[in-house]
């Protein structure tokens, strides 16, 4: 069974824009998803940010294709009043990350959150990794 992994918007943006030096690890994460080794989850709240930033790199039409592709590659979890209220209680300094964390909490059996902003998740009860560090743990497990 594939590991359930929640990805922050920064990892998605790195993947679709091939931002250096983060593009390669992000690509490896998406490849693991494609091979069925992991199942990627993303919050609906991230889609706006992803569109806004990726559009600056690729333009409107290409970015709409990116969003469509993203919806096929990931499971998207909702951001409802419940997640917002939870985010207010999480004791996170960054409110957007608190919302992301609240969305991640709704996923049963979630293994980890992947982000480049680990420091913003210091109060997380879920394991938090950068894509690079997560890939190292996978290599250690798989030998």
Q: Decide if 139 contacts 123 (C-beta within 8 A).
A: no
Higher-scoring residue by pLDDT: 140, 69: 69
Q: To the nearest whole percent, how much of the chain has pLDDT over 90?
A: 90
Tokens describing residue 10? 């920064």
Across the range 119-134, mean pLDDT stands at: 95
pLDDT of residue 141: 54
As a dihedral over the C-alpha atoms of residue 34, residue 103, residue 80, residue 44, rounded to 10 degrees, the angle is: -30
The strand pair at 127-129 and 75-77 is best described as unpaired
């Amino acid at each position: 069974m594939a590991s359930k992994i929640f990805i922050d918007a920064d990892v998605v943006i790195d993947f679709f824009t091939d931002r250096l030096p983060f593009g390669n690890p992000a690509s490896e994460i998406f490849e693991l998803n494609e091979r069925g080794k992991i199942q990627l989850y993303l919050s609906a709240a991230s889609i706006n940010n992803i569109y806004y930033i990726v559009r600056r790199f690729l333009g409107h039409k290409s970015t709409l294709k990116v969003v469509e592709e993203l919806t096929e590659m990931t499971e998207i979890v909702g951001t409802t009043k419940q997640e917002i209220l939870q985010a207010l209680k999480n004791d996170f300094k960054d409110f957007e990350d608190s919302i992301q964390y609240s969305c991640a909490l709704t996923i049963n059996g979630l293994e980890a959150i992947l982000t480049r902003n680990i420091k913003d998740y210091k109060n997380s009860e879920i394991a938090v990794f950068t894509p690079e560090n997560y890939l190292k743990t996978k290599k250690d497990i798989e030998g």
